[in-house]
Amino acid sequence: MQEFLTTVILLLSSTLRLSVPLVLCGLAGLFSERSGVWDIGLEGKMLFAAFAAAAAAYQFDSAWVGLVFAILVAVLLSLIHGFASVTHQGNQIISGVAINFISSGLTVLLAVGWFALGGRTPQLQPEARFPTVILPFVEEMRPVPVLGAIYADLISGYNILVYVAFAAVPVTWWVFHHTRFGLRLRAVGENPAAVDTAGISVDWLRYRALLCGALLCGIAGAYLSVAQSAGFVREMSAGKGYMALAALIFAKWRPVPVLFACLLFGFLEALSIRFQAFDFGLGPALSTQIVQSLPYVLTVVLLAGFMGRAIPPKAGGIPYTKER
């Protein structure tokens, strides 16, 4: 029984850790897409933010400085996306894809030029990473059967960005449903003309939504390189931005379902890591490849067969021209 409980807790703990960038990017996409701006560039923003966080944390020997630089880089990329697709009414998908391409190439180019380590940053020292947070009364609770192990090993023992990510979900829900900004944000994604008629700037609302998403993408990137890992390696986002978009569609653009969709995808990834050594009778190399592909295959299956009809915001992807 104790061994089974330990295995379950380890699997769930891995699920929480692997879900963090998905949750943050999913919420980032929620802000931008509910305002009517498709943001396929989440992957690129998170990747560039990861590089900026690792490079700054190495130079200044501070994880917090790395986080600030990660957010600034994500904000800059979001402003570029907004300038292209909101101000100049360009194609939002093309703008997002361009950000992904730029981030994929420029991070490696800068890493090679600055550090000459084949596209990665130097290994970060412990003081340049976010430390583990131990919640109060962990040792006192540990002897308690079941609950003690859950509190000590499943709830406690993460870095601060993990708690920030999951705290962002109720905050986002409250912003969307209980603030004037959230009400206007939902309205501009459905009927921007009505918002414009009320004397509210559609473009400014959409820029603010992109900036909220940039904040979350910056935190996600910093988590990848300064919290989960000890430095930046090329393409370390590994498609998580796209999986976050899939989770957003699966959740039908609602904050709490976004959390559960990301946890599901995180669980599938944790499960694949846990069972990579399992032999399917096809040889060790092929078995590992099969297990590693399971999260992506199951993501497609879930989206295609079990999601039902997902209705996006009516004004999503449509540039708004102010009536004269």
User: Model confidence over 53-110: pLDDT tens digits?
Assistant: 999 999 999 999 999 999 999 999 999 999 999 888 888 999 999 999 999 999 999 9
Cα 17 to its chain centre, rounded Å, is 12
pLDDT score recorded for residue 319: 81
Residue 240 near residue 258 (C-beta atoms within 8 A): no
The closest of 180, 169, 194 to 314, measured between CA atoms, is 194
Question: 10 pLDDT exceeds 80?
Answer: yes
pLDDT score recorded for residue 134: 86
pLDDT score recorded for residue 277: 56
Find the mean pLDDT for residues 174-192. Answer: 91
Question: 281 pLDDT exceeds 80?
Answer: no
Find the mean pLDDT for residues 8-22. Answer: 90
Mean of the per-residue pLDDT values for the chain?
Answer: 86
Q: Which residue has the higher pLDDT, 31 or 305?
A: 31
Measured CA distances, 324 to 192, 193, 197, 207 (Å):
14, 12, 11, 21
Find the mean pLDDT for residues 111-134. Answer: 88
pLDDT score recorded for residue 324: 56
Q: What is d(CA 168, CA 297) in angstroms, rounded to the nearest whole number? A: 28
Instruction: Please give the single-letter amino acid code of residue 113.
Output: G
| Digit-coded pLDDT (tens) for 230-240 | 889 988 988 88
Sign, Cα dihedral of 161, 275, 42, 166:
negative
pLDDT score recorded for residue 69: 96
Q: What is d(CA 143, CA 152) in angstroms, rounded to the nearest whole number? A: 10
